[in-house]
Amino acid sequence: MDKVFNELKEKINKYNELLKNTENLGVNNSEVAKIEEEIRSLKIKIDELNSSIEGKSKIEKMKITLNITSIESEITLKEMDLEEEKKKAEKDYDSRIQSSNKKIEDTKKELEIFIKDTEETLEKIVKNLSKKEEINNFKLTTLQEQGLNKLGLSVSDL
């Protein structure tokens, strides 16, 4: 019986651990954060270039303006990458959640089957014990016992 309870305890612990792990799942935003930081850095660079434009010659102003336009284009590309990474991170998160939920459901079914099988086994054991008790409580007359002995039978064979 201890074996049954230990196995049941292990299965319940496994189920609880899977539940806990699912709660701790989160979206992996490391790549998203990296791209966002790159965009912030490029915007700061644009601000610096805009502030340095004052007092420059026309050619220098045009060079700075071209540089700013180039950086703005780079920002636009980074923003596109950012959107893709967000979608990718969300898809990965959804996939991990589905996988975790499947493991939880499988473990739950395994636990339910184990409990049902254990109940059935215990029921059979109890029924068998009950039958043996009935047999032990069954009293035969001396003549009946002698008849069974001649046939090579005992009360439990009945």
Tokens of 58: 């026309």
> pTM value?
0.60
- CA-derived radius of gyration, the chain: 39
Taking the alpha carbons at both ends of the chain, their separation in whole angstroms is: 29
**For residue range 111-153, what is the model confidence (pLDDT) as tens digits?**
999 889 888 888 887 777 766 655 555 566 676 666 656 666 6
pLDDT digits (tens, 9 = 90+) for 36-57: 999 999 999 999 999 998 889 9
The residues spanned by each domain of the chain are 2-157
